[in-house]
Amino acid sequence: MQYEDDRAKDRGGEPSLAELTRAAIANLSQHQEGFVLMVEGARIDHANHSGNAARALGDTIALSDAVKAAVAATSAEDTLIIVTADHSHTLNFVGYPARGNAILGKVKDKGGEDGTGGLDLARDGLGLPYTTLTYANGPGYTGASNQQPAGPKKFPHSPSSFEAALGRPDLTHVDTEHVDYMQEALVPSKSESHGGEDVGIWARGPGSKAVRGTLEQNTLYHLIVQATPRLRERLCAAGTCDAQGVPVQLPQPKKFERQASAK
């Protein structure tokens, strides 16, 4: 699929993630036995790997719209909705931007140690402005590469070699809010990597009260199974449940598929 920021230019009229979600729910809701639907805003990941925060945030909003569509098309009485991620990225939020500062813009603050100065561009130790968002690694590294010269990088940029940067570029007159601007990266790499911190989980519907505190990833599997009685029955029929009827192991695919087709 196109990035959300590029979707309007698609000649085929590509639908949004929210439109696809509504269509999927309308189709699956015709099956009385219930359904499990996974909607993935996968291009959030792609944009972060490319060091392009504008497209990553644009697709995050598209995923948020898909969640709204799912909430509007279902009932909290019988449908569990879980929203989460499978990992983080190395995107950093830096500096002390004043309230209302554009998230893709350069940091502006009131300056001075007491914060009483006039609102102006914040400066690093070299006297250069910097953006609110940066990446710890990735193709936004400002040294020259085999594809683009030293300085701010423009999307797309997927180099195979870099040269050491001699210093940070002056961003004073650079449009860092342009969709193709690539945030600076500390470590040069062809693709930005995943991060290591925990990710958020939000839920609504049957079983959602169990989503609290810190959860292991595998717990979400059990929440989904317990909220889908027909699926739980199939898993237990395949011999994967304990004495309390809780699936405790994954079924053998062929046996599970035969049992499903028989019904």
pLDDT band at 146 (very low <50, low <70, confident <90, very high): very high
Measured distance CA(253)–CA(238) in Å, rounded: 10
Whether pLDDT at 217 is above 80: yes
Q: What is the residue-averaged pLDDT of the chain? A: 92
143 vs 237, more confident: 143
pLDDT at position 107:
95
Q: In this structure, what token pair is assigned to residue 241?
A: 């449940």
pLDDT at position 114:
61
- The torsion defined by the Cα of 2, 200, 226 and 61, in degrees rounded to 10, comes to -30
Report pLDDT digits (tens) over 220-248.
Answer: 988 888 888 888 888 888 888 888 888 88
Measured distance CA(96)–CA(113) in Å, rounded: 12
Question: What DSSP state is assigned to residue 6?
Answer: G
Report pLDDT digits (tens) over 3-31.
Answer: 999 999 999 999 999 999 999 999 999 98
pLDDT band at 134 (very low <50, low <70, confident <90, very high): very high
Measured distance CA(67)–CA(83) in Å, rounded: 8
The pairing of beta strand 201-204 with beta strand 81-84: antiparallel
Count other C-beta atoms under 10 Å from residue 108's C-beta. 19
Q: In this structure, what token pair is assigned to residue 156?
A: 């797309």
Whether pLDDT at 164 is above 80: yes
Measured distance CA(137)–CA(165) in Å, rounded: 14
Average pLDDT on 72-94 reads 96
Given a contact cutoff of 8 angstroms between Cβ atoms, the answer to whether 52 and 155 are in contact is: yes
Average pLDDT on 149-160 reads 96
pLDDT at position 11:
92
The conformational region for residue 10 under phi > 0 = left, psi -120 to 50 = alpha, else beta, is beta
Secondary structure of residue 55 in the 3-state scheme: helix
In the chain the beta strands, taken as DSSP E runs, fall at: 81-84, 91-93, 108-109, 120-121, 133-138, 153-154, 181-182, 185-188, 201-204
Q: In this structure, what token pair is assigned to residue 118?
A: 């006039």
Given a contact cutoff of 8 angstroms between Cβ atoms, the answer to whether 55 and 43 are in contact is: yes
Average pLDDT on 107-114 reads 76
Given a contact cutoff of 8 angstroms between Cβ atoms, the answer to whether 2 and 47 are in contact is: no
Report pLDDT digits (tens) over 177-210.
Answer: 999 999 999 999 999 999 999 999 999 999 899 9
Q: What's the CA angle centered on 174, arms 4 and 43, to 5 degrees?
A: 20
Whether pLDDT at 263 is above 60: no
**172 CB contacts (<8 Å, ≥6 apart)?**
121, 128, 129
